[in-house]
Amino acid sequence: MTLKLDKKDLKAFLETLMEEYDLFAPVKLAEGVSIYKKIDSPDEVDLSTENPQKPAKEVFFPQSETMFRYEKAGKRYQMTSTEGVERERVILGARPCDIQAFSLMDDVFLGKEYKDVYYGNKRKATTIIGLACPHPLSTCFCSSAGGGPFLRKGSDLFLIDLGEMFIVELLTEKGMAFQKNKFFREANTKEISLAKGIEEKASTKADASVPIGGIDRRSDLMMENPFWDRMHEKCIGCGVCTFLCPTCHCFDIVDEAITDKGQRVRNWDSCLFPLYSQETSGHNPRPTGRERTRQRLMHKFNYFPKNFGRVACVGCGRCILYCPVNFDIRQAIKLTSPKEIKKVKDEVDLTRQ
């Protein structure tokens, strides 16, 4: 069902939305820097920004999340659960890449073997209002990763920006609940065809040529390849690419305790940090950047497909845009072609002599 929302009604729409839901949307923190954040006032919402630095995964999988609290009460400990979600939630303005990433996160956190209650409760309570990407950047390669700038899958409602208004598509049962919303009106054929035009133009823009298909098989025998000797060299080992990745989902669980009370917290962790794989004995099975860079790429393009049948990359391009040393994952993917691997191997062998 296709409706429209006038931008002059946006604020009022958000106000009514916030009466019923906790609203999460892009908020500008500084010039060119934005994140998804719980909204206190509709004025904070900024749908004009580029894709925010921090991906929308944070709404379901916060960077730092309390799992429970504990406090000494007499001789026993009193535990307080933090699992529950008090109100229904709406994510507004998530891009198709981030929304595609939710389904990959679902594989991990809501898979057959294990269901994560913290992630699951938030996920279940959330309505997703996706926002189409009319201007994919040159670093965007969602179209190579099974997505696209107008991919609707995963959205309950889907917005297309027409300048003065948004086209609003109601896609699921959760979306249809908005059918009677007083700010939504029927879109006319002219507006619908305008949206279609934008869609057609955008769909040619996101790079569809990054050779992701078959990478899980190609990378099968790469574990000990000298390829990695060179691949990691420029990586400085910070966590930018993993923290800003919409599909990276590793975490570390710690107790934050003071005397007789505390909380168990899980924080995002990055396989590029040495501490990530450091064992209690002091031994580190991934002692250098070589093993850590390999882990990041192999997890995305080999282990994850083995476990869940698709790569853990949605082509959002954040790791390319924000890497301090211009490590470009597209180049790494291209280098996994047998011909390229042989070239690198020959070069390493030559210089090893």
Partner 1 sequence: MIQEKIREKARELLSNKTVDLIIGFGEGSLPLRTTPRFIRDPEKVNRLIWNSFCENNLATYLHKFSKLKVGIVVKGCDARSITALSLEKRFKPDQLFLMGVPCQRMVDRRKVGRAVKGEILQAREENDLIHVKGDGFEIALEREDFLYPSCQACMHRNPIHVNVTLGDPVEESPLIESYHEAKRFEQMSPEERWNFFERETSRCIRCYACREACPMCYCTECFVDSSNPKWIEKGLSPSDIQFYHIVRAYHQTGRCSGCGACERACPMEIRLTYLTQKLNRDVKELFNYETGIEPDIPPPLSTYEIEDKQDFIK
Q: Of residues 256, 260, 340, 349, which one binds partner 1 by CB under 8 A?
A: 256
CA distance 94 to 128: 8
Rounded to the nearest whole angstrom, what is the least distance from the CB of residue 237 to partner 1 in the complex? 5
For 301, counting Cβ atoms within 10 Å of its Cβ (0-12 exposed, 13-18 middle, 19+ buried), the class is buried
327: contact with partner 1 by CB under 8 A? yes
> Please, which residue, 217 or 343, has the CB nearer to partner 1?
343
Q: Of residues 14, 23, 53, 299, which one binds partner 1 by CB under 8 A?
A: 53
Taking contact as CB under 8 A, which single stretch among the options 141-149, 156-164, 187-195, 249-257 is the one that binds partner 1?
A: 249-257
Strands in 76-81's sheet, in edge-to-edge order, are 76-81, 64-73, 261-268, 251-258
Q: Of residues 15, 20, 43, 64, which one binds partner 1 by CB under 8 A?
A: 64
How close are the terminal C-alpha atoms of the chain, in Å? Answer: 66
267: contact with partner 1 by CB under 8 A? yes
Taking contact as CB under 8 A, which single stretch among the options 12-20, 111-119, 131-139, 142-150 is the one that binds partner 1?
A: 131-139
| Buried/exposed 133-153: b ≥16 CB within 10 Å, e otherwise | bbebbebbbbbbbbbbbbbbe
> Please, which residue, 42 or 274, has the CB nearer to partner 1?
274
Question: What is the amino acid identity at position 162?
Answer: L
At residue 100's C-alpha, the angle toward residues 94 and 106, to 5°, is 110
CB count in 10 Å sphere of residue 287: 12
Taking contact as CB under 8 A, which single stretch among the options 1-9, 241-249, 293-301, 306-314 is the one that binds partner 1?
A: 241-249
Q: Of residues 89, 123, 286, 330, which one binds partner 1 by CB under 8 A?
A: 330
281: contact with partner 1 by CB under 8 A? no
273: contact with partner 1 by CB under 8 A? yes
Pattern of binders to partner 1 over 90-119, x per CB under 8 A? ------------------------------
Interactions with partner 1, residue window 151-190 (CB under 8 A)? none
Is residue 149 within 8 A of residue 203, CB to CB? The reply is yes
Rounded to the nearest whole angstrom, what is the least distance from the CB of residue 324 to partner 1 in the complex? 4
Q: Give the closest residue to 165 by CA, choosing from 139, 149, 188.
A: 188
Chain position carrying tokens 């990478």 = 215
Handedness of CA 157, 162, 166, 169 (dihedral sign): negative
> Please, which residue, 101 or 240, has the CB nearer to partner 1?
240
Q: Of residues 162, 171, 238, 335, which one binds partner 1 by CB under 8 A?
A: 238
29: contact with partner 1 by CB under 8 A? yes
Indicate the length of the chain as a whole number. 353
Q: Give the closest residue to 168 by CA, choosing from 342, 181, 335, 336.
A: 181
* Tokens encoding 179: 């059918």
Q: Of residues 234, 260, 342, 343, which one binds partner 1 by CB under 8 A?
A: 234
> Please, which residue, 245 or 312, has the CB nearer to partner 1?
245
Rounded to the nearest whole angstrom, what is the least distance from the CB of residue 196 to partner 1 in the complex? 20
Distances in Å between the alpha carbon of 348 and those of 76, 118, 189, 327?
61, 46, 60, 19
Taking contact as CB under 8 A, which single stretch among the options 32-40, 67-75, 97-105, 297-305 is the one that binds partner 1?
A: 32-40
Q: Give the closest residue to 64 by CA, choosing from 208, 267, 297.
A: 267
Q: Contact positions toward partner 1, by CB under 8 A? A: 29-33, 35, 53-54, 63-64, 135, 137-139, 230, 233-234, 236-240, 242-244, 252, 254, 256, 265, 267, 270, 273-275, 289, 320-322, 324-328, 330-331, 347, 350-351
